[in-house]
């Protein structure tokens, strides 16, 4: 497998960046998505409206268009110098922002439906034994919601892993971008190069599914 040896540096660099984009966007979209979900279930009408508006806008926007908005549109809004000061590649950071803004809309819907699957009686029981709103949320509702959230959350993160490839079209040298780089150097037939990269993505998808399966089993409750 000498072609794999030759392709290896490209694959390694590419997937290193893919995984960096993936992990950063996972964290950022989870935080943003949970805040949005809290807004969507809030008793305060303007927050609900904002949450619903956000979800409907970004869920229906193609990721490529969002990349145009963020990656092409934001640099003139002098975010660029402040990013370069902390030592981050501008395009990579903007890609993380675009991916997170997009994925947060899906995370929001997952978390919201997770909270709604918890039986209303659970929270009522918690309140009637005198728990505060925070206690109800922390001790009763969220642990139960978390369990039902795992499978759909895994789907969202699998989609995110594949979506990091869109950054290739905007000057980020992650895994998908390595296809043309390796092809220019004619390291191996393009089909072989494609299969190497596809294998990398399949492994990432497997890892996410496996983690979800383990978590689901750990948190499973005998009913």
Partner 1 sequence: MTTPVLYDVPGPRARARHAVYSVIGGLAILALLGYIFWRLWDAEQITPEKWEFLQESAIVEDLAEGLRVTLSLAATSILLAIAFGAVFAAGRLSDFWLIRLPSIAVIEFFRAVPVLLMILFLNFSYTEQLGTYWSIVLALMVYNGAVLAEVFRAGILAVPKGQTEAGQAIGLRKGQVLRFILAPQAVSSMLPAIISQCVVALKDTTLGFAIGSSDITDRAKLIFTDIFYNNPVAVALVLMAVFITINYTLSLIARWLEARMRRRGERVVHLQGAQAGLD
End-to-end CA distance of the chain: 51
In the window 49-68, what residues touch partner 1 (CB under 8 A)? 50, 56-57, 59-66, 68
Q: H-type helices in 118-189, by residue range? A: 120-128, 133-135, 142-163, 177-184
Binding-site string for partner 1 from residue 4 to residue 23, where x marks contact by CB under 8 A and - marks none: --------------------
Residue 67 CB partners (closer than 8 Å, separation 6+): 95, 98, 166, 167, 169, 170
Q: How far is the CB of 119 from partner 1 (least distance, A)?
A: 8
Q: Which stretch binds partner 1 (CB under 8 A): 4-12, 23-31, 71-79, 87-95?
A: 71-79
Give the Cα separation of 178 and 164 in Å (integer): 13
Q: Which residues within the stretch 111-140 sit at the binding site for partner 1 (CB under 8 A)?
A: 115-116, 118-120, 122-124, 127, 133, 136-137
Residues numbered 199-218 forming contacts with partner 1, rule: CB under 8 A: 201-202, 205-206
Beta carbon of residue 86, minimum distance to partner 1 (angstroms, whole number) = 19
For residues 112 and 36, give the distance between their C-alpha atoms in angstroms, rounded to a whole number. Answer: 9
Quick one: 78 or 221, whose CB is closer to partner 1?
Answer: 78
Sketch the per residue contact string, 153 through 182, with partner 1: x for CB under 8 A, - otherwise.
Answer: xxxx-xx--xxxxx-xx-----xx--xx--
CB of 176 to partner 1, least distance (A): 5
- Sequence-distant (≥ 6) Cβ neighbours of residue 50 within 8 angstroms: 39
Q: What share of the chain is helix, strand, coil (3-state, %, to 5)?
A: 85, 0, 15
């Amino acid at each position: 497998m000498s072609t794999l040896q030759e392709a290896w540096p490209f694959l390694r660099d590419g997937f290193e960046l893919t995984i960096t984009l993936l992990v950063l966007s996972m964290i950022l979209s989870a935080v943003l998505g949970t805040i949005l979900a809290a807004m969507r279930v809030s008793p305060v009408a303007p927050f609900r409206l904002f949450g619903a508006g956000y979800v409907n806008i970004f869920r229906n926007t193609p990721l490529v268009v969002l990349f145009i908005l963020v990656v092409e549109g934001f640099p003139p809004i002098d975010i660029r110098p402040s990013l370069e000061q902390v030592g981050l590649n501008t395009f990579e950071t903007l890609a993380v922002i675009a991916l997170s803004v997009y994925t947060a809309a899906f995370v929001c819907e997952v978390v919201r439906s997770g909270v709604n699957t918890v039986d209303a009686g659970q929270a009522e029981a918690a309140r009637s034994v005198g728990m505060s709103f925070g206690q109800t949320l922390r001790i009763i509702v969220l642990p139960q919601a978390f369990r039902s959230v795992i499978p759909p959350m895994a789907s969202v993160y699998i989609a995110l892993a594949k979506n990091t490839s869109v950054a290739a079209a905007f000057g980020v040298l992650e895994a998908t971008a390595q296809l043309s780089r390796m092809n220019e150097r004619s390291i191996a037939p393009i089909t072989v190069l494609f299969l190497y990269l596809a294998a990398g993505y399949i492994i990432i998808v497997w890892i996410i599914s496996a983690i979800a399966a383990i978590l689901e089993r750990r948190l499973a409750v005998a009913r």
